[in-house]
Amino acid sequence: PLQFTKTSGAGNDFIIIDARAPGLDKVLREEYGINSRAEFAKLLCRRGHGIGADGVVLVENAQDADFSWDFFNSDGSHAEMCGNAARCVARFAHAKGIAKSEMRFKTAAGIVKAKILDGGGVQVMMLPPRLVEKDLPVLVDSGVPHAVIKETKLNDTRKLRETALANRYPKKAGPRGSNVTFYAPTGPAKIVAISFERGVEDFTLACGTGAMAAAYAAKLEQPAQNVFEVRMPGGRLEVEFPADQNVVLLRGPAQLIAEGIVLKEALNEII
């Protein structure tokens, strides 16, 4: 049977499966009647009928890194990067002996370096966000595109949802559109933020790339600040832009929640 680990990065939850041994696709097809990994991820992520998660991470072998991942959103679509999932998979890999406390792993967005911190936190090092479009809303690529919108209040979720849906498809984001991240400054180098994530098509409790994109937008207004505290509904993240380094550091919690096996009924279609 397929074994899984449920993880959470500041409330952004993921199902992680060790797929380093060959034969996963054959098992899905012959034992579970599933014809693709995308279909598997979509069924597994259903809340109320599946295990429930924002995404699925399949850990695979890599020749030039400690491991690689095959990452799926809850709708079965691929995502190039997810900062919270990156921290969670690093914590998983260290706990399972796949990698040491400092590691490198391959993603569709390139190599990610991660470091296990004291107290269950994880730091990931990635390429810095890139400004794609400076007209409002600002479009920032932080591994995946985010339309970043500054708001004074983030508690009117109905208004935010309407605004998010209206800004899901910026022209320069490509046919899949972008995530939409709202942020509000609360003090020097401190912001609150919330992200409407493509592939989930809803607000999530946290979004690592959204935190990076929001911090980048805040840094455009506070260029002297290099470290930002980003409060999201699921918890606190920290984004650092090291001086004279072409990287960004994302720090935050990564919890190992539960382990189990995937039963066939978790993948049944609901009629």
Catalytic residues: 82, 207
Question: How far is the CA of 262 from the CAs of 52, 180, 198, 258, in angstroms?
Answer: 12, 32, 26, 12
Residue type, 166: A
Say how far apart CA 125 and CA 247 lie, in whole Å. 6
Measured CA to CA, the distance from residue 11 to residue 133 in angstroms comes to 29
C-alpha pair distances (Å), 151 with each of 144, 160, 182, 228: 21, 9, 6, 17
Q: What is the spatial distance between Cα 9 and Cα 120, in angstroms, rounded to a whole number?
A: 10
Give a three-class secondary structure readout of 1-20.
CCEEEEEEECCEEEEEEECC
Provide the token pair at 247. 């990287």
| Helix/strand/coil for 155 | coil
